[in-house]
Structure formats: C-alpha cells, structure tokens
C-alpha cells in the first residue's frame, strides 16, 4: 500500500493503453487539440459556474510516474518496456487555455482547451474532467441556492453527507467561490480559506442536566459567537424561552446584543415567525434566526415567500451532493490535430444525437457585453485566429428559433479563454479564493435576470462565427457521404 496518493495514476486505464499505442505506432508526437465542454446546465438552469481550475493546475504541475507506479504498470503485462522507460521522464509540455474560475458558462462552448502531443493530451483527460465536473457542479448548485436566499448568508453544512473527503473539502471550496458565506468544513478553511464556522449539535444540549444550563454554558464560552440550537426538545415552549433567558443573563450584562438561534426541524416558516415575535418582545431585536434541515433553492424560496423570518441558512446534503442533479456532464473531445508543417486540421465527432456532434478546430470564445447596460447578451465561438470587430454589426442565430438571426451593435467583446500553461510552463497568475469569489459575484451580476430564472430561463445566445460554421458544415457533409 502506497503511503501517498499520486494523482498521476488517477486516470482511466484506457488513457494508458492508448498512450502505449500512440508510442508504439509513431503517434506519440502528434500535436492534438482537445476541448472540455458540457451539454446541459444542471437543474434546467440558465447557466453554470466554472470551478476547479486551481486543482487542474496543481495536477499538471505535479505529473510524474514514480518507481512504484512503473512497477505496477509492468505487472499488468500489456505495456512495452520502451513505453515504461518513456513514462519515467513524463511531464506535461503542452499548452492549456481555460475560463477563469467563477465564470458563468454555457453549453457547447469550450471552457478549457489542451494543446499537446497525443500522449500528454489524451492522458490528462480523466483528472481534468473529474475536477471541473465536480467543482462546477457544486458551484452551480450553490449559486442557485445563494440567489434564492435573496442576500441572506448561506453556509455550507454538507461534509458528513459528501461522497468522500475530497468531495467535502473541494465541494466546500467550490461553494465559497459561488457565494456561500462559509462552511462547516474546518479543513476547507485551513487549506483554501473558505471561512469555517458553526453552532452546536443536539448532543451538546443533551449532555447537560437541562436545556437552559446548556445554553448558559455555551454563551459563557462563546459570548461573541452564541447561536443556540433551539429544537432539541420543544422550540416554542422551551427552546426559544431558554435561549432568551441565557442571552439576557449572560450576554446583555456584557453589552453583547449580537446573538442567534437555529431552527433545524419543524415548520420553519411558522416557527420562525413565532420565534421572531418572542425575541422582539424580549428586546432581542438583533438576535438572528438561522435555519437548516435539508434545504435547497426551492425550499428557501418558498419559505421566504411564506413570510418566514429567517436571517441566514445552513445547507448540507442537497448542496454538497447537488442531490437534484448530481452529474455535471462535461466531456473531453478531440477538436483538431496539427500536420508536420504546423497546419491545424479540424476534427469532428458525428452522432445520431445532434447534441453530441462536436464543433471542430482550435477555437476562441468571446463574451459580448451591451455597452448600454454592461450586461452579457451572447457568446461567440470563433476560430483561434479570428477577432471580433466591435465597430461592425454582428448577426447571431436566435437560440429559440435557429432559422432566424438577430443583429447586435454597440457591444464590447471579451475573450473568455485565458492562457494557463504555455510550453508546459504556468503563465497564469492564480487569484486568491476571495478574488475568485468576488469575480464570480460580479460576473453573475452581469447576467440578465431572465437568464437567472430557476424555471424556463431565457436561452442565452451561443453561436459560431461564419467561418467556423462553414468548416463544421463542410466536415459534416464530407463525413456524411
């Protein structure tokens, strides 16, 4: 048993068998372009949130096969010795472009592109996909939940329901990027700076002779962070009254008026209204009411529509697992190869399912912003050497009726894909998690409210340039013969 995990070996086995095949058939040095994109927004939403690039960078920088890895592969009996020798000095020497973490993203557009020799480009597929798929999924779900809270803080409470340690830690990271105010996961705070916090468990209350003693003790220990769980026995008959007594006896004499209670069961709308009335009548108008208990964006939205007096939320299993749709569905597809003279030869994958037909070639993605209000209104996918002339009208297909076009003027075009690695060297200045979080909030704010609807969101324009469209049609015609 290895005493450490080498994520180089976290790959589908066929990545290695294909690499061995490329090595033995003279394709090892064939330059390839692969795109990462996804086909559907989870939960039928209008957009997703990109996350996980930081971990992709760490993976690429640490790619290597150690002696134990080589011996394991030798033991499989299907790899040539020359290939195993090649793996001993294996490193990534190619190029990667990606959208920054926190960027709103849309189906069928590249969110990461790899240019490298066939072995390297093929080999990194598994880890890139698992990382971007997982964190983008959690970030997307989180952003929906945060938006449903309408400005009220949302904390991630899901570690104990996550599918393993990495899912808990990196899920907490993604949730903070997408708008959560903090997490219950201590290690996520230590590693990534997602602020850790919490209240108490029911067991704390049960450990003491009575509820009031438990509350008093907690207030004495944590006077500036006293949020009391009031539903261990009876919320309105004992929980809230005992919390009021503890606050008045312990906190108010110290001049501390900031405190809170947490509701974790029952009719949260009804109980919060009753609790708010009791707290206000006791003069504790600054006491906040925190809610938890299997919440998601729809429950939070409905609670607020029902007049619930809730100031903050803790969301666990339905966030950290994206329970309503737990698969992001990002894919990694070959888009082009280079010939010996460096000419790019586009490649296409055709399917009976039109949604699975890929867009060929080495590409750029431009986001178009209306100069009048600053809002994003479309993304345009172009060839890598195309530029968008902001001084000329631009025609795009209507996503709701692709037989007609709409003309846009007075816009700014911004390239989304940023260089991350060039020639195997990191050229990207990694932002802090706080900067990523701020960027995400700012970029989501540039989306139309119609795109942000939970049900039947507006179909955001994502179109191909005329040159790229022509190349795709030509390849479809050629392959269809």
Domain ranges of the chain: 7-138+329-361+414-458, 141-320
Angle at 250 between CA 246 and CA 252, to 5 degrees: 100
Report the b/e string of 198-236 with b at 16+ CB within 10 A: bbbeeebbeeeeebbebbbebbeeeeeebbbbbbbeebe
CATH number given to 7-138+329-361+414-458: 3.20.140.10
The CATH fold assigned to 141-320 is TIM Barrel (3.20.20)
Measured CA distances, 223 to 184, 218, 253, 313 (Å): 19, 8, 11, 21
Two structure tokens written together for 319: 């966030």
By C-alpha distance, which of 293, 212, 298 is closest to 247? 212
How confident is the model at residue 2, as a pLDDT? Answer: 62
Q: Which two tokens stand for residue 64?
A: 């290597």
> pLDDT of 442-480, one tens digit each?
999 999 999 999 999 999 999 999 999 999 999 999 886
- How high is the pLDDT of residue 352? 85
SS3 string, 437-471, reads HHHHHHHHHCCCCCCCCCCCCCCCEEEECHHHHHH
- Residue 152, CA atoms < 13 Å, CB-side half-sphere: 21
Q: Give pLDDT, residue 66.
A: 94
Question: Looking at residue 178, what is its pLDDT?
Answer: 98
Q: What's the token pair of residue 154?
A: 């949302």
Q: Are 140 and 178 in contact (CB under 8 A)?
A: yes
Q: What pLDDT score was predicted for residue 444?
A: 98
Which segments of the chain have a pLDDT < 50? none
- Tens digit of each residue's pLDDT (9 = 90 or more) over 251-261: 999 999 999 99
Residue 324 confidence (pLDDT): 97
The pLDDT value given to residue 74: 97
C-alpha dihedral, 250 to 255 to 256 to 258, nearest 10°:
130
Q: What angle do CA 351, 357, 358 make, to 5 degrees?
A: 140
């Amino acid at each position: 048993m290895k005493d450490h995990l080498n994520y180089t070996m976290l790959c589908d086995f066929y990545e290695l068998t294909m690499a061995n095949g490329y090595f033995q058939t003279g394709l090892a040095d064939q330059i390839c372009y692969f795109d990462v994109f996804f086909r559907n927004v989870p939960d039928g939403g209008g957009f997703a949130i990109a996350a996980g690039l930081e971990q992709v960078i760490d993976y690429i920088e640490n790619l290597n096969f150690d002696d134990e890895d080589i011996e394991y592969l030798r033991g499989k009996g299907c790899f040539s010795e020359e290939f195993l020798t090649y793996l001993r000095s294996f490193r990534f020497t190619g190029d990667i472009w990606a959208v920054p973490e926190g960027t709103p993203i849309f189906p069928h557009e590249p969110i990461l592109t790899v240019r490298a020799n066939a072995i390297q480009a093929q080999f990194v597929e598994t880890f890139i996909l698992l990382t971007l798929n997982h964190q983008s999924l959690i970030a997307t779900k989180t952003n929906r939940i945060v938006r449903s809270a309408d400005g009220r803080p949302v904390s991630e409470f899901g570690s104990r329901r996550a599918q393993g340690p990495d899912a808990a830690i990196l899920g907490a990271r993604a949730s903070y990027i997408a708008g959560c105010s903090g997490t219950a996961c201590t290690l996520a705070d230590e590693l990534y700076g997602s602020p850790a916090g919490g209240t108490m468990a029911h067991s704390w209350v049960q450990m003491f002779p009575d509820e009031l003693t438990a509350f008093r003790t907690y207030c004495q220990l944590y006077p500036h962070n006293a949020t009391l769980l009031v539903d261990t026995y009876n919320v309105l008959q004992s929980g809230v009254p005992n919390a009021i007594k503890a606050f008045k006896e312990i906190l108010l004499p110290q001049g501390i008026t900031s405190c809170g209670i947490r509701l974790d069961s029952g009719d949260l709308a009804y109980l919060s209204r009753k609790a708010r009335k009791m707290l206000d009548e006791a003069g504790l108008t600054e006491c906040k009411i925190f809610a938890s208990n299997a919440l998601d964006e729809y429950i939070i939205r409905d609670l607020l529509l029902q007049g619930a007096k809730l100031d903050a939320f803790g969301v666990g299993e339905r966030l950290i697992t994206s329970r309503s749709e737990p698969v992001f569905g990002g894919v990694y597809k070959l888009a082009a190869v280079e010939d010996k003279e460096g000419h790019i030869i586009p490649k296409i994958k055709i399917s009976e399912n039109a949604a699975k037909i890929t867009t060929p070639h080495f590409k750029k993605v431009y986001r178009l912003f209306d100069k009048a209000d600053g809002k994003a209104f479309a993304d345009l996918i172009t060839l890598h050497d195309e530029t968008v002339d902001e001084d000329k009208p631009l025609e795009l297909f209507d996503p709701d009726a692709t037989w007609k076009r709409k003309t846009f003027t007075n816009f700014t075009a911004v390239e989304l894909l940023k260089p991350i690695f060039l020639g195997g060297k990191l050229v990207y200045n990694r932002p802090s998690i706080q900067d990523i979080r701020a960027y995400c909030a700012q970029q989501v704010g540039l989306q139309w409210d119609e795109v942000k609807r939970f049900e039947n969101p507006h179909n955001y324009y994502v179109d191909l340039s005329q040159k790229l469209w022509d190349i795709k049609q030509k390849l479809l015609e050629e392959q269809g013969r």
